[in-house]
Amino acid sequence: MEFLLHRYRNQTVLLAAILAQLALLAYQVKSDGEVRLIRVWAIGAVTPLARVIEAARSSTVHFFRDYFVLLDVREDNQRLKTDLDHVRMENQFLRSELSTADRARALALFQQQSQSKTIAAHVIGNTTAVSAKVVIIDRGTGSGVQKGMAVITPDGIVGKVTGAYPTASYVLLITDPSFAAGVLSQKHRVHGTLKGQGYGTVLIDYVQSEQKVEPGEWFYTSGDDRIFPKGLPVGEVSVVRPGKAYQQIFVTPSGMRNGLEEVLVVVEGVHGPIPENPPGFQPVHMQDPPPAEADAESSALPGAPSVTQVTPARSGPQATDADKMVDRYRQIGEAERRVYGQSGGGAPNFNINLPPASPVTAAPPASPSRPSPSPSAKRP
């Protein structure tokens, strides 16, 4: 026996090492548990280092980013001093858009507005498996994170917590091949199961061939999986292919399109409705354009109708270039006694001498849908 062990020493050691690890694997699979102590040690040893590296990296990145943003702000301020009022307003709008686009603030805003109770977390590392799409976040059981909790961003779902440890947690991303979640289409209310592919897009499976799903349609979480609350955006359908039994629907996830640095862990999820409009296509309220000068002045006259009854003129100072172009076509058409915009009208003669614009002609009726101005609203 001793001779055999010596003779086959290499093979014996190999066999012993593999058998020991197989036993370890079998224990974990059989008991559906894990060797928590080893993982806690490993995570505990690595997390402080990860925090230091991440803090150093993010502070360096933010320093340079802030520096360049400040440069832009200085230039903007110089330009604002010399620009006209409307340019200044436009600039302020863009700056407010920029600040709104700031991820951290958007995250905080979303956290305040969301009915679900969430915890903000930073992504501090990746898992060591090359094929797996798993990240490590800096919140663990000490912050109330538990295995199975949903992880989202304001743009959509990101993944779920597959392991929670005192100082950090593993998050299985929705792009991982082993990920699955229940989803629902926004337009046709088609149920399906989201599956990761190991790369950018995800697959919506188990959608019957006769069910209608269109490219561009949005999918939301259905809440069936008991992980994600209902009504969170998943992504937009990029490709729909017919299959044998089920359609092949590929969706571009929306949750990770702005990178993955800060995420929210849903501690207490609240189911919400599926929005009528997909994200980014929410209706935007637009104020009516202001009335033209002529109308404004006439409205100031005694006996003139109220401002709300006066049709706003398109050729006023706030008219768009398109409105001005339509107005010019109309004036040329009147001079040539033709109507442009109909088939076979030919090209207008832009060199024609037009009569000087009167206040009345400068404020033509804008839209057939709007009420035409009262004669008393015009200047005599």
Residue (140 or 278) nearer to another protein, CB: 140
Size of residue set near another protein by CB under 8 A: 45
Q: Binding to another protein by residue 9, rule CB under 8 A?
A: yes
Among 55, 56, 57, 357, binds another protein (CB under 8 A): 57
CB of 36 to another protein, least distance (A): 10
CB of 261 to another protein, least distance (A): 9
Q: Binding to another protein by residue 13, rule CB under 8 A?
A: yes
Stretch that binds another protein, among 22-30, 72-80, 111-119, 356-364 (CB under 8 A): 22-30
Residue (134 or 362) nearer to another protein, CB: 134
Q: Binding to another protein by residue 287, rule CB under 8 A?
A: no
Alpha carbon distance 19, 238 (integer Å): 47
Q: Are the beta carbons of 151 and 160 closer than 8 angstroms?
A: yes
Q: Binding to another protein by residue 166, rule CB under 8 A?
A: no
Alpha carbon distance 87, 82 (integer Å): 10
Reported as half-sphere exposure (CB side, CA atoms, 13 A), residue 361 has a value of 13
Interaction pattern, residues 124-163, with another protein; x per rule: CB under 8 A: xxxxxxxxx-xxx-------------------------xx
Stretch that binds another protein, among 15-23, 229-237, 246-254, 343-351 (CB under 8 A): 15-23
Question: Among 131, 222, 129, which Cα is nearest to 176's?
Answer: 131
Q: Binding to another protein by residue 165, rule CB under 8 A?
A: no
Neighbours of 252 (CB within 10 A): 15
Among 53, 55, 89, 357, binds another protein (CB under 8 A): 53
Q: Binding to another protein by residue 123, rule CB under 8 A?
A: yes
CB of 123 to another protein, least distance (A): 7
The residues in 177-206 that bind another protein, with binding defined as CB under 8 A, are 177-178, 198
Residue (42 or 98) nearer to another protein, CB: 42
Residue (111 or 197) nearer to another protein, CB: 197
- 260's tokens: 């993955």
Q: Binding to another protein by residue 60, rule CB under 8 A?
A: no
CB of 202 to another protein, least distance (A): 15
Question: Among 67, 170, 60, 71, which Cα is nearest to 124's?
Answer: 170
Q: Binding to another protein by residue 31, rule CB under 8 A?
A: no
CB of 187 to another protein, least distance (A): 30
Among 5, 14, 80, 104, binds another protein (CB under 8 A): 14
Alpha carbon distance 13, 244 (integer Å): 50
Interaction pattern, residues 202-241, with another protein; x per rule: CB under 8 A: ----------------------------------------
Q: Binding to another protein by residue 172, rule CB under 8 A?
A: yes
What distances in angstroms separate CA 5 from CA 18, 19, 233, one per listed residue? 17, 16, 61
Q: Are the beta carbons of 291 and 316 closer than 8 angstroms?
A: yes
Stretch that binds another protein, among 18-26, 206-214, 231-239, 269-277 (CB under 8 A): 18-26
Among 17, 55, 101, 104, binds another protein (CB under 8 A): 17
Contact positions vs another protein (CB under 8 A): 9-10, 13-14, 17-18, 21-22, 24-25, 28-29, 34-35, 38-39, 41-43, 46, 49-50, 53-54, 57, 123-132, 134-136, 162-163, 170, 172, 177-178, 198
